[in-house]
Amino acid sequence: AGPVESKNEAAMSELVPESRQKPVVPMKPTGINANLLGYIGIDTIIEQMRKKTMKTGFDFNIMVVGQSGLGKSTLVNTLFKSQVSRKSSGWNREEKIPKTVEIKAIGHVIEEGGVKMKLTVIDTPGFGDQINNENCWEPIEKYINEQYEKFLKEEVNIARKKRIPDTRVHCCLYFISPTGHSLRPLDLEFMKHLSKVVNIIPVIAKADTMTLEEKTEFKQRVRKELEVNGIEFYPQKEFDEDLEDKTENDKIRQESMPFAVVGSDKEYQVNGKRVLGRKTPWGIIEVENLTHCEFALLRDFVIRTHLQDLKEVTHNIHYETYRAKRLNDNGGLPPMTVETEENHESNL
């Protein structure tokens, strides 16, 4: 209770200077009898809030970006333990390689422990696959901004929906090819442009092609390159809320990331247990084994500890930045003054 108290006191004193001295409220007795003298019941708000959120359900939108064949769909399916992303089996003769990057957003509802989540996976086939990949991030940036625009339009309505549908991209997994050398120019360009509008989590794909030493060196080099190029990936240093966050996130930023992952949806028998893995002549790579790859770290990070934070950073920071810029730009909101009602041109 100590640190929470002092942090909040500091926060409170910033906001409301005229706050009085704390009246002494006796702590809740550890007995279950809630009617003992002294207990008010303020802490029941936690339960009330939890119930409310369980009822409304959650949305989560995750985008995967990377060249074909890096195992994006497999990884997402492994993360969410279900077929939420349709694997493309490469470009066969009937399917042409798309001339530009396509954006495919597919939504599914998944449920676990009474919690309902509408998960939307946004795939970006064609990224980095052409001979000339100049500006191939533009359709992606455009898509992300379009979702912000959609939300903004809803928010600005006079009669608003009770719950504005959230299609904004909360998390963008960027797949780095496990070359072992360094980041490619395309990787740097993409991340430079997009790290300012969306939370980017870089992952090293198909990490089963690197030995432990190669992995560590590669990760160090990648981190250095990102730093040198001023690319702030999630969790961004400037959004750490307090010391606790900072220590936790520092460790992740400086040691664990980028996560070197392996994905698989096939199960094998290892030591009497069924595990997800990849079978090779020289052994079975267990996806969820931390000594084999960092998939479990990525999963825990994205889903079990930072999911809500990803959404909040998107809403409180990226969206607000977009909104402020949009409202500040000449022209304000889309159209139009009464005179130019004839030209219904989209400003998007």
Partner 1 sequence: IVFQGEGCRTVPLSGHVGFDSLPDQLVNKSVNHGFCFNILCVGETGLGKSTLMDTLFNTKFEGDPASHSQPGVQLKSSTYDLQESNVNLKLTIVSTVGFGDQINKEDSYKPIVEFIDAQFEAYLQEELKIKRALHNYHDTRIHACLYFIAPTGHSLKSLDLVTMKKLDSKVNIIPIIAKSDAISKSELTKFKIKITSELVSNGVQIYQFPTDDESVAEINGTMNAHLPFAVIGSTEELKIGNKMMKARQYPWGTVQVENEAHCDFVKLREMLIRVNMEDLREQTHTRHYELYRRCKLEEMGFKDTDPDSKPFSLQETYEAKRNEFLGELQKKEEAMRQMFVQRVKEKEAELKEAEKELHEKFDRLKKLHQDEKKKLEDKKKSLDDEVNAFKQRKTAAELLQSQAQQAGGSQTLKRDKERKK
| Contacts (CB under 8 A) with partner 1, residues 146-165 | 153, 156-160, 162
**At 28, is the secondary structure helix, strand, or coil?**
coil
- In the range 50-69, which residues lie near partner 1 by CB under 8 A? 50-55, 58, 60
Q: Give the DSSP H or E segment for 117.
A: strand 115-123
| Helical H segments across the chain, by residue range | 2-15, 45-56, 72-79, 138-156, 185-194, 212-228, 243-251, 295-299, 307-313, 320-328
- The correct pick among 31, 41, 185, 272 for binding partner 1 (CB under 8 A) is 41
| Residue 268 interacting with partner 1 (CB under 8 A) | no
Alpha carbon distance 81, 132 (integer Å) = 35
Residue 229 beta carbon to partner 1: minimum distance, rounded to whole angstroms:
28
| Residue 48 interacting with partner 1 (CB under 8 A) | yes
Kindly report the backbone phi and psi dihedral angles of residue 85, in degrees, each rounded to the nearest multiple of 5, phi listed first: -130, 130
- In the range 209-228, which residues lie near partner 1 by CB under 8 A? none
CB contact burial 52-80 (16+ within 10 A = b; e otherwise): eeeeeeebbbbbbbbbeebbbbbbbbbbb
| Residue 5 interacting with partner 1 (CB under 8 A) | yes
- Piece of the chain touching partner 1 by CB under 8 A; list 87-95, 200-208, 223-231, 340-348: 340-348
| Residue 1 interacting with partner 1 (CB under 8 A) | yes
Residue 219 beta carbon to partner 1: minimum distance, rounded to whole angstroms:
24
| Residue 333 interacting with partner 1 (CB under 8 A) | yes
| CB-count exposure of residue 91 (10 Å: 0-12, 13-18, 19+) | middle
- The correct pick among 83, 135, 216, 220 for binding partner 1 (CB under 8 A) is 83
- The correct pick among 84, 191, 194, 203 for binding partner 1 (CB under 8 A) is 84
- 104 to 143: interface string for partner 1, x by CB under 8 A: xxxxxxxxxxxx-xx-x----------------------x
| Residue 308 interacting with partner 1 (CB under 8 A) | yes
Residue type, 261: V
| Residue 27 interacting with partner 1 (CB under 8 A) | yes
Q: Which is nearer to partner 1, 178 or 235 (CB)?
A: 235
| Residue 239 interacting with partner 1 (CB under 8 A) | no
Q: Beta-carbon neighbour count of residue 113 at 10 Å?
A: 5
Quote the Cα angle for 233-237-240, to 5°.
120
